[in-house]
Amino acid sequence: MKGKSDPSTAAPPVGGEANRLCREVLAKALGVSVSQVEITKGHRGPRKRVRVRGAEAAPGKKFGIQGENR
């Protein structure tokens, strides 16, 4: 699924802390393990592209994220 959301975190972008927190929050919200959430682009910037493995086909609908399946 491709989708767009605009979450934010108060974690500092030091030592990957913000990325770790981003993965944890998404995993919890989507009901998957943290290992199933992968940041594929934007490791050092505020905008991220994330791949989630093992989530339901359209998990973003409950968060208002519009997207399409690949």
CATH number at residue 52: 3.30.1200.10
Whole-number pLDDT of residue 37: 92
Whole-number pLDDT of residue 11: 65
Task: For residue range 19-52, list pLDDT tens digits in order.
Answer: 998 899 888 888 889 999 999 998 888 888 888 8
Name 2's Cβ contacts closer than 8 Å, sequence gap at least 6: 67, 68, 70
CB 69 within 8 A of CB 58: yes
User: Distance between CA atoms of 10 and 62, rounded to whole angstroms?
Assistant: 23
Name 45's Cβ contacts closer than 8 Å, sequence gap at least 6: none
User: 10 Å Cβ neighbour count for 31?
Assistant: 11
**4 or 55: which carries more pLDDT confidence?**
55
What is the span of the domain harbouring residue 58?
2-68
Number of separate domains in the chain = 1
Task: For residue range 50-60, list pLDDT tens digits in order.
Answer: 888 876 655 55
Whole-number pLDDT of residue 1: 45
